Amino acid sequence: MTFAQAVTERTRRLQTRLCVGLDPQLGRYRDAGHLRTHTLDVLEATAPFAACVKPQLAFYEALGLEGLQILEEVCAAARTLGLPVLLDGKRGDIGSTAQAYAQGWLSGRHAGAALTVNPFLGFETLTPFVETARANGGAVFVLVKTSNPGQADLQGSGASERIAVEVARLNAPEGAGREPEPGYASVGAVVGATHPQELALYRSLMPRALLLLPGLGAQGAAARDLADAFDPGGVGALASASRGVQYAAGLDVQASVAAARSFRDELNSVLG
């Protein structure tokens, strides 16, 4: 089963469109061991409410080798729980380096099933990521319109729309000599949940792409504003919350569970 199929199957079976972000901040813990157990506890406790899990690589890389070991444990625990893993690394570079990133994060020891990628160096630099994802039944999520207020500096003036058109092209089997991918295709897109008025546009520009919608909770986006990102049946998008789940009330894991349940329920009530 591909990443997109696994997420869609989980959405339908568990009625959840929530992506739980795991962004463990060392400053909140006594030490890295405490960070590790709390992060694994939050993962296990919130899994029933999640369509997938999204570790942000920066927080694990910040801890050095120990952080990579924790990441590996988080990915292994998620797989045991049946949760698809989307690594948020926003990688992108010239071809040979992109190839190494793709090998490391989409097929290597610490790999997830999916990875966020940055198209800033040009569309051709996406190729190693897309090919590696396809070869492994994985996915890439291309930054199309990020959730932060400053995104307009470089993503305005039609840039985000151009990237969306490229995502649609990469997902189109016609002319590429590929078999059509069943369901959602291997190239997804990041569109901030903080841009509710533009979700319908990006949904229509990228009909085969799963959309990742970061910004729920801590960045101010609300589930009630996200309906336009979804296809009929309430599939095709994942709304993501990290701090709003992991640190819903300090380190209280039951508060994380309550937050994940509440995000799930709010999304479900919006989608009917």
Ligand X SMILES: O=c1ccn([C@@H]2O[C@H](COP(=O)(O)O)[C@@H](O)[C@H]2O)c(=O)[nH]1
Applying CB under 6 A, the residues found at the interface with ligand X are: 21, 23, 56, 88, 146-147, 190, 192, 214-215, 217-219, 240-244
What is the torsion angle, in degrees rounded to the nearest 10, for the CA atoms of residue 171, residue 119, residue 148 and residue 210? 10
Active-site amino acid positions? 90
Choose between 220 and 233: whose C-beta lies nearer to ligand X. Answer: 220
Q: What minimum distance in Å lies between the beta carbon of 23 and ligand X?
A: 5
Q: Which is nearer to ligand X, 161 or 181 (CB)?
A: 161
Nearer to ligand X, 68 or 172 (CB): 68
262 phi, psi to nearest 5 deg: -65, -40
Which residues lie across from 243 on neighbouring strands?
A: none
CB of 241 to ligand X, least distance (A): 5
- For the CB of residue 244, give the shortest distance to ligand X in the complex, in Å: 6
Four-CA torsion 41, 43, 45, 50, nearest 10 degrees: 170
Q: How far is the CB of 182 from ligand X (least distance, A)?
A: 27
Q: Which residues contact 19 (CB under 8 A, 6 or more apart)?
A: 50, 51, 52, 53, 54, 86, 212, 238, 239, 240, 241
**HEC letters along 111-169:** CCCEEEECCCCCHHHHHHHHHHHHHCCCEEEEEEECCCHHHHHHHCCCHHHHHHHHHHH
Yes or no: say if 218 and 25 are a contact pair by the CB < 8 Å rule: no
Q: How far is the CB of 152 from ligand X (least distance, A)?
A: 13
**DSSP-based three-state secondary structure for 106:** helix
Which of residues 21 and 84 has its CB atom nearest to ligand X in the complex? 21
Q: Which is nearer to ligand X, 181 or 198 (CB)?
A: 198
